[in-house]
Amino acid sequence: MMQLNQNKKVNLLIVGLGLIGGSYAKALTEKGYHVTAITRRQETIDYALQHGMIAEGAAFPDPELIGRADMVIFALYPHVLTQWIAQNQQHFRPGTVLTDVTGVKCAVVYDVQAMLRPDVEFIASHPMAGKEVYGIENSDAAIFKGANYIVTPTERNTPQAIALCQELGRELGFARISCLSPEEHDDMIGFVSQLTHCIAVTLMTCSDCEHLVDYTGDSFRDLTRIAAINDEMWSELFLLNKQPLLHNMDTFMKEFARLRHFLETEDREGMRDMMRLSTRRRKLFNKPKD
Amino acid sequence: MMQLNQNKKVNLLIVGLGLIGGSYAKALTEKGYHVTAITRRQETIDYALQHGMIAEGAAFPDPELIGRADMVIFALYPHVLTQWIAQNQQHFRPGTVLTDVTGVKCAVVYDVQAMLRPDVEFIASHPMAGKEVYGIENSDAAIFKGANYIVTPTERNTPQAIALCQELGRELGFARISCLSPEEHDDMIGFVSQLTHCIAVTLMTCSDCEHLVDYTGDSFRDLTRIAAINDEMWSELFLLNKQPLLHNMDTFMKEFARLRHFLETEDREGMRDMMRLSTRRRKLFNKPKD
């Protein structure tokens, strides 16, 4: 089985050069790998070549580029990813390892693994990093520094492919690499990522905020930063993770109603208990720079 | 009527040297004013003197210091502020202007103005700046840069005192100085500040989060930064602003339930409409540096 950091001749193909695909290309090219790319628009390939982000690229599913890849990284929307593999998997070389960057796992992993050729392996992963802007122009390898990277193997995955995918996370610069089952991942992501986006969006839409900008402090800014959201991508991710997200929304609403009840009944100790617990727990999340 | 920026001989007394009182002391001393302070602990006065933050200070309500002040700034908890003025107002010089930094207004302003000597004026204000740490050791004049400052006059206030208080905001370095009625202020603050703190606390208490730190991205960190909260102060502020805060919590819950309904019924366009609105509105809140 190939290894990454001892073999910079490894051929890495990135499919989809948006913000994340572009940031992968920058990080891996900087590390010395031979990085190629396939994406929809020729202008994007031209941009990536001009900026030294990739060695070669094509604006169509070039069988030759696909066949030369040792590892393929898909940075596509979930439904596009599944289609792409269905239409182009005949071009993979036997032994190719595939991974992705998708924000939900159960809805992707099992479908892809079920339809995939048996001589090719798909090991899913999720880089927990991003920005509120899109496109290759905004790509930035620095977003991975200090961030978390999650590999989500199933029983179909080999230890070798899992190790390779973890190595990819390390080579990209992630601070913490962990493994979760697709189910654990989706429940966790429904809480820390999707629920927080639901809250941020709601905060911006529940009040006609136009004049609030004159009076607001950093709290409101912080809680709504992610309310500038890619509606096409996030609505797809929410629907693909419907049950875990609904469950997490309900958990949040129930606890929020508990705080509201303490306030309504002027139960100051009830409120203070919640605040003391939140203060204690939040300290675990401080980054060194906080 | 005195003016601030043309008369650095103005005598400014700060009562309460915590994070905000200490930051005021630093900012105003740096600007060249004669700043004095009264606070509970002698060690705090010693610290402020040693660090050149004040010219003089006392750990008790020194009648001489109080009588020399042209303007008094109260940086105390709401219930302490009202008591302090009731017990010490005989020492003010006629014509003294008082202001505060309290995060709620209706519960403070009317009581203070009703009991105050007629030859002294209380004009309330709210510096929209802070940190998740406390005490004079953490004070920092830079927290006011780029922040908002709100003056909340009532019909008892004179144009001169309102102007003086606005000037204080400018001298402290605030970027935007505005005026709201105490009622408008409390409703607005119930939304942008208190509601956001309720959400952050709830996010930290609604799930046993200890292992989530290994998987979380910046979204969750951003939304819970303010979950490290001074429970004594914030529970007091919540109770003093009970009705506006309950109203804002209900508005938020209703809109959150609307988003939940779109997800449950798989109404993708409903979700995308909310996301597009939130994206459009959030852009108004970008700071130049964002």
Using the beta-carbon criterion (under 8 Å), do B245 and A229 form an inter-chain contact? no
Segments of chain A with pLDDT less than 50: 289-290
Q: Is the pLDDT of residue B59 over 60?
A: yes
Q: Phi and psi (nearest 5°) for B77? A: -60, 150
What band does B290 get if pLDDT is binned at 50, 70 and 90?
Answer: very low
pLDDT > 70 in chain B, percent: 96
What residues of A are in contact with residue B216 (Cβ under 8 Å)? 128, 148, 192, 285
Nearest to A202 among B185, B188, B255 (CB): B255
What does the alpha-carbon distance between residue A185 and residue B248 come to, in Å, rounded to a whole number? 33
What does the alpha-carbon distance between residue B226 and residue B54 come to, in Å, rounded to a whole number? 30
Q: Is the pLDDT of residue B7 over 80?
A: no
What band does B168 get if pLDDT is binned at 50, 70 and 90?
Answer: very high
What does the alpha-carbon distance between residue A158 and residue B154 come to, in Å, rounded to a whole number? 72
> Judging by beta carbons within 10 Å of its beta carbon (0-12, 13-18, 19+), is residue B119 exposed, middle or buried?
exposed
What residues of B are in contact with residue A242 (Cβ under 8 Å)? 263-264, 266
**Which pLDDT belongs to residue A210?**
66
Class of domain B185-285: mainly alpha
Q: Which residue of chain A comes nearest to B202, CA vs CA?
A: A256
Q: Is the pLDDT of residue B289 over 60?
A: no
**Which pLDDT belongs to residue A289?**
46
What residues of B are in contact with residue A223 (Cβ under 8 Å)? 196, 199-200, 222-223, 226
Mutate to test the interface with B, among A219, A240, A241, A266 (most CBs of B within 10 A): A219
Give the contacts of B157 (CB within 8 A, at least 6 positions apart): B121, B123
- A and B: number of Cβ contacts within 8 A: 283
CATH code of B11-180, in short, is 3.40.50.720
Alpha helices in A131-241 (DSSP H): 159-172, 182-189, 196-205, 218-224, 231-240
What does the alpha-carbon distance between residue A142 and residue B51 come to, in Å, rounded to a whole number? 38
**Which pLDDT belongs to residue A6?**
66
Residue with tokens 């929307």: A77
Nearest to B214 among A148, A209, A242 (CB): A148
Answer whether A255 touches B (CB < 8 Å).
yes
State mean pLDDT over B98-104. Answer: 97
**Which pLDDT belongs to residue B192?**
92
Using the beta-carbon criterion (under 8 Å), do B192 and A279 form an inter-chain contact? no
Give the contacts of A172 (CB within 8 A, at least 6 positions apart): A24, A27, A28, A127, A141, A144, A149
**Which pLDDT belongs to residue B31?**
94
Using the beta-carbon criterion (under 8 Å), do A282 and B227 form an inter-chain contact? yes
> Taking the model in full, what pTM does it have?
0.87
DSSP, res A93: P
- Residues of chain B within CATH 3.40.50.720 domain(s) are 11-180
Buried/exposed B23-62: b ≥16 CB within 10 Å, e otherwise? bbbbbbbebebbbbbbbeeeebbebbeeeebbbbbbbeeb
CA nearest neighbour of A151 among A111, A102, A95, A81:
A102
A164 CA: distance to closest CA in chain B (Å): 19
Answer whether A191 touches B (CB < 8 Å).
yes
Lookup: tokens for B244: 């506006």
Using the beta-carbon criterion (under 8 Å), do A215 and B180 form an inter-chain contact? yes
What residues of A are in contact with residue B250 (Cβ under 8 Å)? 260
Which A-chain residues 141-160 have CB contacts (< 8 A) with chain B? Answer: 147-148, 150
Question: Is the separation of the CB atoms in B193 and A203 below 8 Å?
Answer: no
Half-sphere exposure of A5 (CA within 13 A, CB side): 11
Using the beta-carbon criterion (under 8 Å), do A196 and B223 form an inter-chain contact? yes
CA nearest neighbour of A145 among A2, A288, A1:
A288
